[in-house]
Amino acid sequence: MAITAPRGTRDILPGESWKWNYIINTASETMKDFGFREIHLPIFEHTELFSRGVGETTDIVEKEMYTFIDRGERSITLRPEATAGVMRSAIENNLCVQNSIAKLWNWGPMFRYERPQKGRYRQFYQIDAECLGVQNPFADVEIISLSIEIFRRLGLKNLEVVINSVGCEKCRPIYREKLLNYFDAHKNELCETCLTRLDRNPLRILDCKKEACSKVADGAPDIYDSLCDECREHFEEVKKGLERLNFTYKLNKRLVRGLDYYTKTAYEILSGDLGAQNAVAGGGRYDNLSTAIGGNKIPGVGFACGIDRIMLVMEQQNCSFGEVPKTDVYVAALDNEAKGAAQSLTYELRKNKISAECDISGKSFKAQMKNAGSCNFACIIGSEEIAKNSVSVKNLSDGTQVNIPISEAVEYINHQV
């Protein structure tokens, strides 16, 4: 039996890869306009980076990591997310010394052992941006506006920005205690998973999707009542900043996100066109991540968006992916004797950055011209052209044809494309 791709992975085939590139190029241009610089990190890291960074009690660390012992007896994990790796690199490479700011972005595959469904894969791709070294709420606004701008440029419609504050190490324990008391009193209404979350991470019960738990969570204490002055002020400034930029957003006091490192701002961008897995981007502030992984205190705020999901939404909303890539020239040989000359001219065009194709499989002239149909020009070479060192160039959009010396072909076509 032929081997198939592992469950939860998918191939990005040529029919899709050019659209994929459009998304990445658009993100890349936007990052540049916002002053973010590209960083590329290993796909695997020490397991400890994620268990300490993302948090022992998170779904990611408890159930979803691809972890293995390598041949040197080290515990290695395929990265389930990018932020911890970026912070690790910033600490290791001193990217954020003496109050300097590091604005970094990257894209690539992430790995989580989740139940695959539409928009949820075990190997998926994220575009990720992190702003390190700034505590100021302006940085949160910078990050949120960056993610919104990428989606605006991609033409995504029907999006909703949802924000919350999850407090800090000072006020969250107080809120946690209140939650614990509340949920403990509603124990028998909670699902199995939430019962296990009760002691370990009661905040996660707030975003359980099960109806019964959701009902209980509706009546849970409000996090805003527990925020300390600093967190409350920070949250107000973020909201003001978003309003200054004319963004509409919704507050959702139950948005806690699945990663422990968030402090203060947490946000998501949701699409009305995705079904159950409706988040296209998620992020927030993580002022304690650096110390959790053994570094100095470096505040940070960032986001990640799922390329697979962006693609799904763009397809559904008939968004433009720019121009379909087209080959400029097809060099057709009238007979077998001309095939070598056709390949030489093709290579000459390619050397001059004109995209060109010729037959490499022994096709008839008629079949070659059929292939030429998707190009802008056809260059035709037969024995007559070889004898005269010439080539016939046909403009395939208007049907006009000229015969020119072969040495002028590059210049001629360069003028036309």
Chain residues binding ligand AMP by CB under 6 A are 81, 112, 114, 119-121, 124, 126, 258, 279-282, 304-306, 308-309
Q: How far is the CB of 119 from ligand AMP (least distance, A)?
A: 6
Beta carbon nearer to ligand AMP, 91 or 313: 313
The letter for the amino acid at 289 is L
Q: How far is the CB of 319 from ligand AMP (least distance, A)?
A: 16
| CB-CB contact of 172 with 166 (8 Å) | yes
Q: How far is the CB of 124 from ligand AMP (least distance, A)?
A: 3
Q: How far apart are CA 207 and CA 159, in angstroms?
A: 20
Beta carbon nearer to ligand AMP, 85 or 382: 85
Report the candidate in 382, 380, 403, 399 with the shortest Cα–Cα distance to residue 332.
380
Q: How far is the CB of 201 from ligand AMP (least distance, A)?
A: 15
Beta carbon nearer to ligand AMP, 278 or 291: 278
Six token digits for residue 392 = 């016939």
Radius of gyration, alpha carbons of the chain: 28
Q: How far is the CB of 64 from ligand AMP (least distance, A)?
A: 8
Q: How far apart are CA 100 and CA 121, in angstroms?
A: 37
Q: How far apart are CA 208 and CA 190, in angstroms?
A: 10
Residue 171 gets which letter from DSSP? T
Q: Which secondary-structure segment (H or E) carries 47?
A: helix 47-53
Q: How far is the CB of 49 from ligand AMP (least distance, A)?
A: 15
Residue nearest to ligand AMP (CB): 306
Q: How far is the CB of 127 from ligand AMP (least distance, A)?
A: 9
Sequence-ordered list of residues with C-beta below 8 angstroms from that of 6, at least 6 positions apart, any chain: 122
| CB-CB contact of 28 with 128 (8 Å) | no
Q: How far is the CB of 324 from ligand AMP (least distance, A)?
A: 26
Beta carbon nearer to ligand AMP, 104 or 386: 104
Beta carbon nearer to ligand AMP, 83 or 390: 83
Beta carbon nearer to ligand AMP, 8 or 155: 8
Q: How far is the CB of 15 from ligand AMP (least distance, A)?
A: 20
Q: How far is CA 154 from CA 49, 149, 307, in A?
A: 33, 9, 12
CB atoms within 10 A of CB 89: 19
Beta carbon nearer to ligand AMP, 207 or 348: 207
Six token digits for residue 302 = 């960032």
Report the candidate in 295, 284, 256 with the shortest Cα–Cα distance to residue 52.
295
| CB-CB contact of 310 with 280 (8 Å) | yes
Beta carbon nearer to ligand AMP, 198 or 279: 279
Beta carbon nearer to ligand AMP, 105 or 121: 121
Q: How far apart are CA 293 and CA 65, in angstroms?
A: 18
CB atoms within 10 A of CB 52: 19
Q: How far apart are CA 331 and CA 397, in angstroms?
A: 16
Q: How far is the CB of 222 from ligand AMP (least distance, A)?
A: 23
Which pairs from 240-244 meet CB under 8 Å and 24+ separation? 241/137, 241/138, 241/140, 241/141, 242/141, 242/144, 242/145, 242/161, 242/163, 244/141
The letter for the amino acid at 168 is C
Beta carbon nearer to ligand AMP, 83 or 376: 83
Report the candidate in 243, 255, 97 with the shortest Cα–Cα distance to residue 162.
255
